[in-house]
Structure 1
Amino acid sequence: MDWGNAVINEIGKDNDGTVTQLTGVLHPEGSVKTTKWKLTWLPETDELVKLLLVGFDYLITKKKLEEGEDFLDVLNPSTKKETLALGDSNMHNLQRGEILQLERKGHFICDVPYFRSSKPIVLLSFPDGRQRTSLLK
């Protein structure tokens, strides 16, 4: 984090096309703000925790209804999206109701904390009025 940029010279993929390796050179003078493509990664360890990221979107697709307009015509057909993810082992300590920020994903509130490795931690994200949408990308 905050090391600058890395210039990727080679992308290694397996037979299925899944990226398995990146080879590059650290470029500390690079600007995180002007870099087009960003990568977030965690080391592959047994300590990572399973996450279920649940993003909610606005119920209505317009800021303001016109006079006589039926709200049923502007209901958002897709207001919830669930995404599986992995988190750092420090997330074992999250408590229900605790708020956190995931890098490049947004702010979340812990709904279901860590219980056992077979069950994911459930994190919820709601629109805050500043973003166009809160659904997870």
Structure 2
Amino acid sequence: MDWGNAIVKKIDKDQDVNLALTGVLHLEGSVKTTKLKLTWLPEIDELVKISLMEFDYLITKKKLEEGEDFVDVLNPCTEKETAALGDPNMRNLKCGDVVQLERKGYFRCDVPYLKPSKPIVLFAIPDGRQQAGLK
């Protein structure tokens, strides 16, 4: 974080889709003008499981027409759950804490760290921008 840019020169994959990236630092590059970005965590045992929850509108229209049945405009996908891994420090989150995930947005902790087999559950906080719909 805050190191600057690195330019990926080579991507190696094996049959199990394990990746290795080879690159060179480009410290004078601008993070703001770089289009493709990568966020990563080191591969360590202390990473915690996270469940990122995003919610969408219940109906697909802003306003129902007179006589229109709301059942006809129900959104078929109002919830999206994404499995992720987080920094070990996320074990310290308490229910209700707000955290910003880089290039993902702000989230509120709904279920804090309990044990390694249970993910921390984070609810996305809407930022006011119109969503294109969950997929």
Please state which band the TM-score falls in when normalised by the shorter chain. 0.7 to 0.9
RMSD: 1.9
Runs of 4 or more above 4 Å deviation: none
Query: Which secondary structure does the structure 2 equivalent of 1:41 belong to?
Result: coil
Query: Which secondary structure does the structure 1 equivalent of 2:107 belong to?
Result: strand
Q: Which residue number corresponds to residue 41 of structure 1?
A: 40
The total of aligned residue pairs comes to 135
Query: Which secondary structure does the structure 1 equivalent of 2:23 belong to?
Result: strand
Report sequence identity in percent.
Answer: 71
Offset from partner CA, 1:15-47 (integer Å, 9 cap, x none): 13x242100011112222222211110011111
Within 5 Å, give how 1:24-103 maps onto structure 2: 24-103=23-102
Q: Which residue number corresponds to residue 125 of structure 1?
A: 124
Change (3 A) 1:134 1:54: farther
Q: CA deviation at 1:129?
A: 2.8
Q: Which amino acid aligns with 1:9?
A: K
Gap regions ≥5 residues in structure 2: none
Hey, what's the Cα distance between the residues in 1 that align with 2:3 and 2:69? Answer: 51
| Length-normalised TM-score, structure 2 | 0.88
Q: CA deviation at 1:116?
A: 0.9
Establish whether residue 7 from structure 1 lines up as the match of residue 7 from structure 2.
Answer: yes
Hey, what's the Cα distance between the residues in 1 that align with 2:63 and 2:33? Answer: 34
Offset from partner CA, 1:62-111 (integer Å, 9 cap, x none): 33334444332322110111111100011010000111111111111111
